C-alpha cells in the first residue's frame, strides 16, 4: 500500500523521467572516454610499467562510473515499472509506505530507511 497522493506520484514520475536523459548522456560520454583514454591508446608509444598501471587505473575508474550510471538507469526503469504496477513507494522488505521526503531525495528508493540501513549494513556498503 502506498501513501502517495496522485500529484506526489506524478512529481516523482517526472523526476525519474528527467533523470534518464542526463544519465544516458553520462554513459555515452563515459564509453567514448573509455575508447579515447583506453588501455591501448594510453600505452601507445610506451612500454613503461608505471604508465601501464596508470592506464589500467584510469580505465577501471572510468568503467566504475559507467557501471554506476548504468545501474542507476536500471534502477529508474525498475522504479517506473513499480509506478506502473502500483507498488512504487512501498518498501520491498517490510511493505511499509516509503515517506514522500525520502522518495523526493532518492526517487528510485525500493526500501524504507530502516530496511535500507539493514540491507546496506548486511552488504557492507554505505547507506544512500
Ligand atoms: Zn522497510
Asked if pLDDT for residue 1 goes beyond 50, the answer is no
The tens digit of pLDDT for each residue in 59-108 reads 777 788 889 999 999 999 999 999 999 999 999 999 999 999 999 999 99
Flag whether 39 is in a domain.
yes
The tens digit of pLDDT for each residue in 95-117 reads 999 999 999 999 999 999 999 99
Q: How far is the CA of 96 from the centre of ligand 1 (A)?
A: 6
Give the integer Cα–Cα distance in Å for 126 and 55.
Answer: 28
pLDDT band for position 34 (50/70/90)?
confident
Flag whether 1 is in a domain.
no
Flag whether 100 is in a domain.
yes
Residue list, CB under 5 A from ion ligand 1: 91, 93-94, 112, 115
Flag whether 111 is in a domain.
yes
Q: How far is the CA of 111 from the centre of ligand 1 (A)?
A: 5
CATH number of domain containing 53: 1.20.120.910
Flag whether 63 is in a domain.
yes
Closest by Cα among 11, 4, 9, 19 to 75? 19
Give the integer Cα–Cα distance in Å for 12 and 27.
Answer: 23
Domain boundaries, position 13: 6-123
Asked if pLDDT for residue 21 goes beyond 90, the answer is yes
Flag whether 113 is in a domain.
yes
Amino acid at each position: 500500500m502506498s501513501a502517495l497522493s496522485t500529484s506526489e506520484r506524478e512529481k516523482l514520475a517526472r523526476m525519474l523521467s528527467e533523470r534518464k536523459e542526463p544519465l544516458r548522456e553520462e554513459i555515452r560520454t563515459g564509453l567514448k572516454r573509455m575508447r579515447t583514454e583506453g588501455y591501448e591508446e594510453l600505452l601507445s608509444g610506451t612500454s613503461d610499467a608505471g604508465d601501464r598501471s596508470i592506464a589500467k587505473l584510469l580505465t577501471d575508474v572510468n568503467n566504475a562510473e559507467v557501471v554506476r550510471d548504468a545501474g542507476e538507469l536500471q534502477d529508474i526503469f525498475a522504479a517506473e515499472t513499480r509506478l506502473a504496477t502500483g507498488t512504487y513507494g512501498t518498501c520491498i522488505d517490510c511493505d511499509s509506505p516509503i515517506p514522500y521526503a525520502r522518495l523526493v531525495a532518492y526517487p528510485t528508493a525500493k526500501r524504507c530507511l530502516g530496511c535500507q540501513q539493514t540491507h546496506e549494513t548486511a552488504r557492507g556498503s554505505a547507506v544512500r
